[in-house]
Amino acid sequence: MSVKAWLMIILGLAAAALGGAFGWAGHELSSPARRPLQDYHHEFLANTAEHGVRVESFRLKDGTPCLMMEPLPDGRLGRRGRVIREQLGAEGVDLPPAGQVTGTLVLVHGRKGRKEDYLLIGERLCAAGFRCLLADMPAHGEHPAKVITFGLREAGIPASLLSEASARFHFPDQPAGLLGMSMGGAVAVHAAAQERAPWKALVVISSFDRLDSAIQNNVASRVGDTLGKLWRAGAGWVYQMRTGVRLEQICSDAPASRLSIPVLMAHGTADRVIPIGSGKRLFQSLPLMTEKEWIDVPDADHHNVLITDFPIYASVARWMLRHVKP
């Protein structure tokens, strides 16, 4: 076989491999592998009182699986609840009595996550005086939908969750706040920018301004700019075929520019999945007159931003207590 023939074979195999990689990447963006329930999820749900909360499972009218978490009315706390109340108390934060609910928070998980991943977050925020509502996003957990569009089509889910849960469990739908991380941050920004949105405050952790540039920068940091651009284009084409949405349409900076509620944003300084620059550009897109705060989480990457020594939960709870109140 000639050298030219061998070269054609090698180029063909390389093209096939690259096409397969693009197909995988586009599929992972639109329909990531669903994370099963973990052992710690089962432990929590089997022993909710030990965590100082009660948990109720339900579904929205559209089939979205949800959880409602409330602090125990007798004021019993789990270990994490005791820690966050001690932290807030040491800062002089005016806390409601343990077991009392002063508002409702909707928590939106990130890509490849599921609602149960936020049970431990909910434990802390319930201890600070909030009721927490959690939902599986489309293409995640037990949600029946097959693809995710990072907020473009999911923006109405948080408000529906708040409205239907308040009717089902007979609690007032105000005051209410919204929190999202990564993909969930994008959903939360879109949700907060909707007309007549019910939110008093927003917290966004480790999210992006524009998804296409975040993907390109992520890949480029590992293999260079040329492959980064090629990867974005190839994965974007597959994503569009699966969802009908172009990657360029998935941007949080435009809805963020319309927000008028107080916004707290936090980002790990060592994040390589969504570089901190992407988060800062999202923050800079907020209106000048909007009350806002930025937090650098030192040395945190995308996956441990909530579990470093930095008291991020106290920062989140303090923000919500300040703005989500009767």
Q: Which of 198, 193, 325, 323 is nearest to 260 (CA)?
A: 193
pLDDT of residue 138: 98
Mapped onto helix, strand or coil, the DSSP state of residue 181 is: strand
Could you report the per-residue pLDDT of 126-159, keeping only the tens digit for each?
999 999 999 999 999 999 999 999 999 999 999 9
pLDDT of residue 214: 79
Residues 102, 99: Cα–Cα separation, whole Å = 10
Could you report the per-residue pLDDT of 89-123, keeping only the tens digit for each?
999 999 999 999 999 999 999 999 999 999 999 99
Kindly report the backbone phi and psi dihedral angles of residue 110, in degrees, each rounded to the nearest multiple of 5, phi listed first: -95, 180
pLDDT of residue 228: 56
User: What value, to the nearest 5°, has the Cα angle with vertex 41 and ends 38 and 45?
Assistant: 150
pLDDT of residue 159: 99
Is the per-residue pLDDT at 17 higher than 50? no
pLDDT of residue 25: 56
Mapped onto helix, strand or coil, the DSSP state of residue 92 is: coil
What is the residue extent of each domain of the chain? Answer: 1-30+212-248, 36-210+250-323
Residues 252, 256: Cα–Cα separation, whole Å = 6
pLDDT of residue 9: 44
Confidence of residue 225 (pLDDT cuts 50, 70, 90): low
Q: Which of 215, 193, 19 is nearest to 111 (CA)?
A: 215
The sheet carrying 53-59 orders its strands as: 53-59, 65-71, 130-135, 103-108, 176-181, 201-205, 263-268, 292-297
Fold held by 36-210+250-323 = Rossmann fold (3.40.50)
pLDDT of residue 4: 52
pLDDT of residue 6: 44
- pTM of the predicted structure, to 2 decimals: 0.92
pLDDT of residue 30: 83
Residue 15 is encoded by which pair of tokens? 């093209």
